[in-house]
Chain A
Amino acid sequence: MDYYTVLQFGSVMSLVLLVLALGIYVRAVAGVRHGLSSSTVRALAFFGAATVTIGVIVLVGVFWPDLTAQRLPITFYMVFLINAVIHIATDSSVIHRLGYAGTTVLIGLAVIVPIVLDPTTTYELMVLSLAVLFTLTLLLTVWILYSSPSPFAASLLGIEGSFLIVWTLILTGQLITNLQLMPYVFVPAALSAALLASVTRPWRLIASLYTVFYAVMNVAPIALALALDADYFRLAFVVIATLPVFASLFSLDFFAQQATTTKASVPSYITASLVAASLLVTLHIVEWAFSYPNLVLLDIQWLEWVLGNGTIGAFVVAAIATITKRYVSLARRVFLVFVTVVSVLAHDFASAGRWTLESLLWAPAGMLVVGIVAYAYTVRRLYRLGARTAAGYFAWFMLSIVLLVFAVMLSFVIPVPITLFLFVGVSISLLLSSPTLRHRLRSRTS
């Protein structure tokens, strides 16, 4: 499997997904256009354009590693973004026109400057102007978020933050030289696509869509490259291992809905656990596929470690929240600190080769044991109270997380068929833990 091909496929795939999401976004915004002021509509249009440009930046970065090739995409991204922010911040048409004039000047400069000046100067000018513009935009967004908080402003901040990741990867050249960092590149694209596709819909969709888009952007290119290589064994693994991501959608949707409507703590923590678990599966597939015959751990293992501990931590706190309401925030803080400490200890900066992740495995294992005990207690109590279905959902959810942790932790040690079996088990128990799905199935069969 050629890793560079995977990256190219992935960048095309992310752009395609972004354009599809843009289509959904345009339809949704067009539907509610009449209720909005003209400057809001323009802000939304600029926001959509800026979001898709992130996909273009990734695509250009992958196919043309030359930094000066980025001047137009990044300039366009910045002017789209800053115009979106300006249109939310003020209704004054003078400032809007100033924004347009500045946009024209900047794009003109981006075209003309490379012709006049040598590449090094162009590059330096680009970095400088980008830094200034980006800081300005960031400050404006923070100000908007502070003065009138809205999901839109928050997502603007999210897009800007994820742009920072891509920009760092491009600037340091790691996008091409260190292919292991591929999963980082698709974070902004997946987030943007999820934001675009869930506009005017319930905000909880962002979580579900993000996990799916992220899985597709990472796994589909790998699967495609494997199919081209006729490497059907790994292809089968990759496809089967992705099943939990889709299986978790049903429970994720249900619990996220519960969390947003009832503001209860148990569904919120289960949602967090499921999102982390689903991202963990995606990352693990990438790591496994990249390293299969040798099965050595890659750089992204730290991210996996953080996500895995986060999954288990949220899972345990959810269990504690079912038992007692009084100590939920105390438990959350204890596990937050624990997961942070274990994550820091696992990082290369802290360990410096003195210890490995294996020597820290007691931490997630200990948390898992606490979680299993807590869930067993809750399930038994619910069962005795007569709420057998509810007890069943909890039991299946517990089983899915436990199996997932085993699959991820042991997949480099045990034979591949057993890992696949575990992943199938995770998918089945995730499906069984979703009340909506089971309800639907039962109403159809009876």
Chain B
Amino acid sequence: MDYALVLLLTAYAGIVISILGIVIFAATLKQIGSSISATTRKALILYALSLIFAALTSLATLYSFEWTKTLYAIALVTLGSSAATAYIERRLWLWVVYILSAFFLTATIVTLLVTGLAFRLMFYVAILVAGILLLVSLEVMLVSPSPFSISIFAVSLANFAYGSIVAAGPLTRFPQYSPIALLIVSIMAPTLASVGRPRRLILDLAMVSITLGSGLPIVIASMLSNDFAIYSFVVPSMIVSLLWVLPLDFFSKEAAETKARTPKFLALTTTSMLLIGVSHFVNWAYAAEGLHLSGEDAGTLLLSVIHGVWDPYIVYTDWLLGLVAVSSFMLAALTATYSGWAIEWGIDSLLVFSSVLIVLGFPWINAGRYELELLYLPLIVFIVIAVGLMSKIMIDLRRLGRDTAAKRLLAFTVSALLASGVVLYSDRSQLIVNIIIWVLTGLILLKSVPSEAYGTLKRSFRPMVRSRGA
């Protein structure tokens, strides 16, 4: 598999995602344009501009450092101006921000033309600007939390992280981290696309774009080089990740409607399970690529155990997401059965337990002295307790006569367990076993949501039915 191709396709995926987001946003703006104020419209358009430049930055990263820096600076300036337009009320201050942005942009472009050491310096200035934007947006988010301010904060964080990562330069050196290129786009495009629609759509769309944006390039590249070991695993895993969006949408809808804590925690579990799927197939592709299996016979591969060298940092990401998934699953069970005091203690002990495992799982602490398998034992005890607590809820639901709800919860739990089974032991079992478990996970997952949920998900994509009434 050609990793340069994967990176290129990921960058193109980012551009496609951002164009889709902007097209949907443009359609929305045409319909509701008259009902929003001129400032909001201006802020949103600047936000869309920033999205385009962010997507172009990812592409430029592959070719030229100079263009990366310039595009990054433009994306930052438009993002900052968008936030300033939306939240600064005094015209004088707004102009100060605009003039400072223009000055920063001019300085970047002038140094680009002169080039040399000063230009490298400008990139660090840009990262500094991203840091300032991050602090300001944190303040704005705390003062007036709304989907827009939260997304501004998230995007600033993503920009800051992206700038720091690109400055260190690992994206072309370690192409297995290709999903980083989608970091900014997969927050901004869903935010734009769901303007005027239910808020939970942001999360759904972000998850869909991360899954497809990091999965499809790997699938295409591995199919081109006839790498059966990679695409036979990545395709089912990607489909399962997409299917997780169904319960995610369902739980976030429940959370928004009932304001209860249990669906919120279940939504967090679902999100982390989905992201584990993504980071796991990315790492699988890397490990299988290291074994040079392209052109091998599919039958032989299906029956063999593919045990390559995994990237330790992606494994650690899996580990973190897994701990979040189990903790939030347990908290969902706790909040559904117990009250105040027990929940507080539950959260505290989960924090202690997870932080021990987070520290011990870290590659630097580990330093190659032990495999992560050593830590699976406490994790599995943890999972067993969580499933035990959840079974109590299922039994209670059955007693109350809510058989379908109990069955759906059972399906959700079983599919989460199956998925964690693959994530924990995919390099210890035959390829065919992995594929079968992924397929089973997907099938059971379909049973975990009520059939209305499909309709709700479809309806929320339909343009502007709700917001007009609201």
Contacts and interface: CB of A to CB of B under 8 A. Distances in A.
Interface of B is mostly: helix
Given A332-B348, A333-B347, A344 B355 contact: yes
B369 interface: yes
Interface stretch (A239-247, A335-343, A404-412): A335-343
Contacts of B355: 337, 340-341, 344
10 contacts: A340-B351, A340-B359, A341-B358, A341-B359, A344-B355, A344-B356, A345-B365, A350-B365, A352-B367, A352-B369
Closest 4 interchain pairs by CB? A344-B359, A340-B355, A337-B355, A340-B352
Interface in A319-346: 329, 332-333, 336-337, 340-341, 344-345
A336 B348 contact: yes
B46 to A, nearest CB: 34
A344 B351 contact: no
Nearest to B348: A336
A349 B370 CA distance: 10
A341 B355 CA distance: 6
Contacts of B365: 345, 350
Interface string B277-294: 000000000000000000
Nearest to A334: B351
B224 interface: no
A362 to B, nearest CB: 16
A336 B352 contact: yes
Contacts of B348: 332-333, 336
A214 B367 CA distance: 39
Given A337-B351, A340-B352, A341-B355, A350 B360 contact: yes
Contact of B360 (A332, A344, A354): A344
Given A340-B356, A349-B360, 9 more contacts: A329-B344, A336-B351, A336-B352, A337-B351, A341-B358, A341-B359, A344-B355, A344-B360, A352-B367
Contacts of A340: 351-352, 355-356, 359
Interface residues of B, number: 13
Contacts of B359: 340-341, 344-345, 350
A345 B359 CA distance: 7
A83 to B, nearest CB: 29
A349 B359 CA distance: 11
B395 to A, nearest CB: 15
A352 B344 CA distance: 34
Nearest to A354: B367
B449 to A, nearest CB: 32
Interface of B: 344, 347-348, 351-352, 355-356, 358-360, 365, 367, 369
Nearest to B358: A341
B425 to A, nearest CB: 24
A132 B372 CA distance: 31
Contacts of A352: 367, 369
B76 to A, nearest CB: 31
A336 B349 CA distance: 9
A333 B351 contact: yes
Contacts of B367: 352, 354
Contacts of A341: 355, 358-359
Scoring A329, A340, A349, A352 by chain B CB atoms within 10 A of each residue's CB, the highest score goes to A340
Interface of A: 329, 332-333, 336-337, 340-341, 344-345, 349-350, 352, 354
B289 to A, nearest CB: 32
A182 to B, nearest CB: 26
A133 B424 CA distance: 34
A354 B368 CA distance: 13
A333 B327 CA distance: 15
Contacts of A337: 351-352, 355
A344 B366 CA distance: 12
Nearest to A350: B365
Contacts of A345: 359, 365
Nearest to A349: B360
Nearest to A337: B355
Contacts of A332: 348
Nearest to A343: B356
Contacts of B351: 333, 336-337, 340
A202 to B, nearest CB: 20
Contacts of B347: 333
A332 B348 CA distance: 9
Contacts of A349: 360
A336 B413 CA distance: 30
Contacts of B358: 341
Nearest to B344: A329
Contacts of B369: 352
A333 B359 CA distance: 16
Contacts of A329: 344
Contacts of B344: 329
Nearest to A345: B359
Nearest to A344: B359
A299 B75 CA distance: 55
A329 B344 CA distance: 9
B15 to A, nearest CB: 40
Contacts of B356: 340, 344
Nearest to A332: B348
A268 to B, nearest CB: 12
A142 to B, nearest CB: 12
A363 to B, nearest CB: 13
A12 B359 CA distance: 41
Nearest to A351: B365
A320 to B, nearest CB: 16
A49 to B, nearest CB: 32
Nearest to B362: A350
A264 to B, nearest CB: 15
A329 B355 CA distance: 17
Contacts of B360: 344, 349-350
B378 to A, nearest CB: 12
> Which one of B344, B355, B358, B367 has the greatest number of beta carbons of chain A within 10 Å?
B355
A266 B347 CA distance: 20
A349 B369 CA distance: 10
Central interface residue in A341, A350, A352, by most chain B CB within 10 Å: A350
A309 to B, nearest CB: 13
Nearest to B365: A350
Contacts of A333: 347-348, 351
A40 B351 CA distance: 38
A345 B369 CA distance: 15
A290 B359 CA distance: 32
Contacts of A344: 355-356, 359-360
A123 to B, nearest CB: 27
A337 B352 CA distance: 6
Nearest to A339: B352
A327 to B, nearest CB: 13
B116 to A, nearest CB: 40
A334 to B, nearest CB: 9
A341 B360 CA distance: 9
A333 B365 CA distance: 23
A47 B351 CA distance: 34
Nearest to A338: B355
B244 to A, nearest CB: 28
Nearest to B357: A344
A337 B358 CA distance: 11
A338 B147 CA distance: 31
A354 B365 CA distance: 10
A195 to B, nearest CB: 21
A336 B355 CA distance: 9
A350 B369 CA distance: 10
A340 B360 CA distance: 11
A167 to B, nearest CB: 20
Query: Which of A332, A337, A341 has most chain B Cβ within 10 Å?
Result: A337
A218 B383 CA distance: 40
A34 B114 CA distance: 97
A352 B368 CA distance: 12
A332 B347 CA distance: 11
